[in-house]
Each structure stands twice: as C-alpha cells, then as structure tokens.
Amino acid sequence: MRVLTYHGANDVRVDTVPGSAIQEADDIILRVPGAAARTLGPDYV
C-alpha cells in the first residue's frame, strides 16, 4: 500500500508499507478515494 507520511515541517513523503494499522497513540488512518493536482503559472500569482 502506498501511504503519505508526515516527517515534519515541509517534509511529506510517499512510502510503501505492507498494510495499515494503528501503532502509536497519535497515528491516524485516512483513506482518500481520489485526488487531483493542479499547477498554476507564474502569471497567476
């Protein structure tokens, strides 16, 4: 399973893990059924 992991400010990574499970008291499992990305040109700012 591919997961998005938060490692600190400005450090978010996509990792591969065997499955989802709560391991620590502050862990969460968030399922996202779909996502989209959009970029804006420099003239938009």
Mean pLDDT by 10 residues, the chain (45 residues): 84 85 87 78 68
Q: Is 18 a member of any domain?
A: yes
Q: Is 42 a member of any domain?
A: no
Q: Is 39 a member of any domain?
A: no
Model confidence pTM above 0.75: no
Q: Given this model, what pLDDT does residue 25 score?
A: 92
Q: Is 15 a member of any domain?
A: yes
- Other CB atoms within a 10 A radius of the CB of residue 3 amount to 13
Q: Is 3 a member of any domain?
A: yes
Q: Where are the beta strands (DSSP E) in the chain?
A: 2-8, 11-16
Give the structural domain span for 12: 1-33
Nearest to 5 by CA among 23, 21, 14: 14
Count of domains forming the chain: 1
Q: Is 13 a member of any domain?
A: yes
Q: Is 45 a member of any domain?
A: no
